[in-house]
Amino acid sequence: FDTNIDLEYSIAKLPEKQKTVFLLYELEGYKHKEISEILGISEGTSKTHLHTA
């Protein structure tokens, strides 16, 4: 239970773009190509946002 709270807190603290990419990739199952199209960013930027999250 505490782990879920810690995870939610950590996700909430992420910068908006990193949070969005993280949620789309990890929770929604989107690929970087799809995320890049949705957000209007390159695949490389999507990967960078996920890696730095």
CATH number at residue 19: 1.10.10.10
Task: Collect all residues with Cβ–Cβ distance below 8 Å to 26 and sequence separation of at least 6.
Answer: none
Instruction: Note down the domain range covering 9.
Output: 2-52
User: Is residue 39 within 8 Å of residue 46, measured between CB atoms?
Assistant: yes
Determine whether 2 is exposed, middle or buried from the number of CB atoms within 10 Å of its CB (0-12, 13-18, 19+): exposed
DSSP summary character for residue 11: H
User: Is residue 15 within 8 Å of residue 52, measured between CB atoms?
Assistant: no
* Gap between the Cα atoms of 7 and 12, Å rounded: 9
For 33-53, how does the pLDDT look when each residue is reduced to its tens digit (9 = 90+)? 999 999 999 999 999 999 999
Give yes or no for residue 1 having a pLDDT over 80.
no
pTM: 0.87
Structural domains in the chain (count): 1
